[in-house]
Amino acid sequence: MNGGADVSVERVCRTFAMPGGVPVTVLRDLSLQVAAGETLAVTGPSGSGKTTLLQVIGALDRPDSGEVRVNGRELGALDDRGRAAFRNREVGFVFQAHHLLPQLTAFENVLVPAWAGRVTPELEVRARELLGRVGLSDRLGHFPGQLSGGERQRVALARALLLSPGLLLADEPTGALDHANARALVELLLELNRESGTTLIVVTHAEACAARMARRVALADGRVE
Ligand SMILES: Nc1ncnc2c1ncn2[C@@H]1O[C@H](COP(=O)(O)OP(=O)(O)OP(=O)(O)O)[C@@H](O)[C@H]1O
Ligand SMILES: [Mg+2]
């Protein structure tokens, strides 16, 4: 049991300035609390700010105002190095676009988070095991270009889980999957949550996925409804 991270988002605002255009306010005084070990589905229409919210929670983006705390630590107070270490060790991301490195095999892609430290034999065993759990044992040597969209998404999940993060941020993780694989992936997420207490925040349009999370929130007008 690694234990999950708790997340506190307090009155976060995020506006994107558009050169020569009207600025777009995406998050407007948004507050959200997620307890350690909780599973949360985030829904809302396209453009409502779901990805922006995940990026702010995962220290990929900085809010214009407001605070984000993960395990009590304010992300705004971290310098670039601290933010990079936080992203590498404490958060697993499954992006809407998978962001696999095209020149690396599935197995090598899963090991990328280990590069910040050392690729140990234990981590190689874990990478193999994770690829097995997402049903890709027979695809270890495939390059992303040789994988289907759903297979790439599953590699991305295995990569996100390599270092057993306390917080998993998943952006439409079942978007490219058929029914059976989507269900298997959601069950795997929940299994990890039960085994390790990993806090799960999952953006999804899929009702079947949202319904499996303990709680759900919808974004509208830059806030949690
Ligand atoms: N870097 C940026 N610069 C300008 N506008 C941006 C930027 N990033 C996001 N936006 C705008 O912010 C809004 C919210 O984007 P976001 O990606 O968070 O939406 P979303 O809820 O994830 O949508 P989807 O369901 O389509 O993925 C969109 O209207 C988008 O155009
Ligand atoms: Mg999005």
List pLDDT tens digits, range 84-132. Answer: 999 999 999 998 777 899 999 999 999 999 998 899 999 999 999 999 9
Those residues with Cβ within 8 angstroms of residue 20's Cβ, 6 or more apart along the chain or in another chain? none
Q: What digits encode the pLDDT tens for the residues 1-37?
A: 468 999 999 999 999 998 888 999 999 999 999 999 9
pLDDT number for residue 2: 61
3-class secondary structure per residue, 162-210: CCCCCEEEEECCCCCCCHHHHHHHHHHHHHHHHHHCCEEEEECCCHHHH
Output the residue whose Cα is nearest ligand 1's atom 30: 47
Residue 204 in contact with ligand 1 by CB distance below 6 A: no
The bridge status of strand 7-16 relative to strand 24-34 is antiparallel
Mutating to test ligand 1, I would choose from 26, 171, 209, 224 the residue with most ligand atoms within 8 A of its C-beta, which is: 26
pLDDT at 178 exceeding the cut of 90: no
- State in Å: Cα 193 to ligand 1 middle: 28
Cα–Cα distance for residue pair 169/147, rounded to 1 Å: 23
- Partners of 158 in beta bridges: none
Output the residue whose Cα is nearest ligand 1's atom 24: 46
Domain architecture of the chain: domains with CATH: 38-62+79-224 (3.40.50.300)
- Residues in the chain, overall count: 225
* 189-204: average pLDDT: 93
Residue 44, CA distances (Å) to 9, 137, 140, 182, 224 in order: 18, 35, 35, 19, 9
pLDDT number for residue 130: 94
- State in Å: Cα 47 to ligand 1 middle: 5
Residue 8, CA distances (Å) to 4, 62, 126, 203 in order: 13, 15, 30, 17
Q: Would residue 93 be called left, alpha or beta, if left means φ above 0 and alpha means ψ between -120 and 50 degrees? A: beta
Residue 57 in contact with ligand 1 by CB distance below 6 A: no
31-65 in b/e form (b: 16+ CB < 10 A) is ebebeebbbbbbbbeeebbbbbbbbbbbbbeebee
pLDDT at 196 exceeding the cut of 50: yes
Cα–Cα distance for residue pair 65/71, rounded to 1 Å: 19
Output the residue whose Cα is nearest ligand 1's atom 26: 46
Residue 44 in contact with ligand 1 by CB distance below 6 A: yes
Q: What digits encode the pLDDT tens for the residues 120-160?
A: 999 999 999 999 998 999 999 999 999 988 899 899 999 99
- Both tokens of 201, joined, read 């925040």
Residue 193 in contact with ligand 1 by CB distance below 6 A: no
Nearest ligand to the C-alpha atom of residue 50: 1
- State in Å: Cα 26 to ligand 1 middle: 7
Indicate the average pLDDT of the chain. 93
